[in-house]
Copies of this chain bind each other. A is one copy, B any other.
Amino acid sequence: MNDTFLKACRGEKTSYTPVWIMRQAGRYLPEYQKVRSKVDFLTLCKTPELAAEVSIQPVDILKVDAAILFSDILIPVEAMGMKLEFSEAKGPILYDPIRNDVAVSRLRSIKAVEDVPFVMDAVKLLVKKLNVPLIGFSGAPFTLATYMIEGGGSRNFTNTKRMMYQTPELFGALMDKITDTVIDYLQAQIDAGVDAVQIFDSWAGVLSPVDFEAYALKYVQRIVSALKGKAPVIYFALNGSAMLRLVRKAGADVFGVDWRIDMADAVNALGGDAAVQGNLDPCTLFGKKELIRERVKGVLHGAQGAKGHIFNLGHGILPETPVENAVALVEAVHELSSR
């Protein structure tokens, strides 16, 4: 078992910088496309054998130091009682968006082992086969709330913010229910065998710092506290790079960093208590191999002062990315960081 990734999560010394790639199991890989061509996206998420198969692909092909479970952050939301659909054009659609207290009270806090057993089954299959650690994950409460309130993606998140500002108790009740679900969901993944968990706060960056502190942060803190000591927790607040001194209050073991900040500035803002993960611009993989190497060097250098560093992109790998450049990235990280 290659445990370099886990050592870096804990801030222990490693002989090189471990690397994995957000969305590494995904559309840029022909091997993924082949599996996906036979089933729709939700079926892929819900079929343990197939989810496990595509989760392993990038470990074999790219030689990354960790696998991440193939799934979607809205899986537990569906289990809470919302009708979920993935549209090729529009992305996720959640029917009957949550806008009032009746809708909130109808939602269930899930028991993941019973309600989404296929996730735990995929985890169990994976841990038998993998020779690298497996990362489980969940959306963060605020991010899940935006999908539930908006009914899908959004441009300005006005429904979410209206609820926050105009009926803060209702918003709080929704966030509490989601938080209970996320804790149960991540705990179940850990019980099934994942080695670490990542909390994706993909829409944290639509909040001003004052709103992030008032409406989002404490729920992440509750999740981190509940899981403390059970498995390393990575918290990734996308587009939150201008408020990292607040983000660090989440208390995670590792903080994901997007590509909008110089890594040295991020390390400085996050302080010395946590490891960092990131932060190459995914589009760098459209450049030549020399550019990729040069930029990898820059990120490695910027992270030198961190307690630990897990190399990653600053956002998910893009569907059009040439696979050979993703391979070159992993090679460059391993080679250039060898100590």
| B-contact 0/1 string along A280-293, CB 8 Å cutoff | 01111011100100
Interface residue ranges of A225-256 to B (CB < 8 Å): 239-243, 245
A298: interface (CB < 8 Å)? yes
Residues of B within 8 A of A261 (CB): 209, 242-243
Stretch in A17-25, A29-37, A57-65, A159-167 touching the partner: A159-167
Q: How many residues of A contact B (CB 8 A)?
A: 37
Interface residue ranges of A176-228 to B (CB < 8 Å): 205, 207-211
Closest to A212 in B: B260
**Are the CB atoms of B165 and A287 closer together than 8 Å?**
yes
Residues of B within 8 A of A239 (CB): 239, 260
In the complex, which of the residues B162, B265, B282 contacts A242, with contact meaning CB atoms closer than 8 Å?
A: B265
**Are the CB atoms of B243 and A165 closer together than 8 Å?**
no
A99: interface (CB < 8 Å)? no
User: Copy number of this protein in the oligomer?
Assistant: 2
Residues of B within 8 A of A205 (CB): 260
Give bound CA distance, A158 to B286, whole Å: 8
**Are the CB atoms of B259 and A208 closer together than 8 Å?**
yes
Question: Which of A243, A245, A282 is packed against the most chain B CB atoms within 10 Å?
Answer: A243
Closest to A279 in B: B208
Distance (Å) between the CB of A277 and the closest chain B CB?
Answer: 16
**Are the CB atoms of B281 and A211 closer together than 8 Å?**
yes
A157: interface (CB < 8 Å)? yes
Given contacts A165-B284, A287-B166, contact A318 B156 (CB under 8 A): yes
Q: Which 7 A-B pairs have the closest CB atoms?
A: A165-B287, A241-B242, A242-B261, A161-B283, A242-B242, A208-B281, A208-B259
A-B contact pairs, 7 of them (CB 8 A): A158-B320, A161-B283, A166-B288, A205-B260, A208-B314, A243-B260, A243-B262
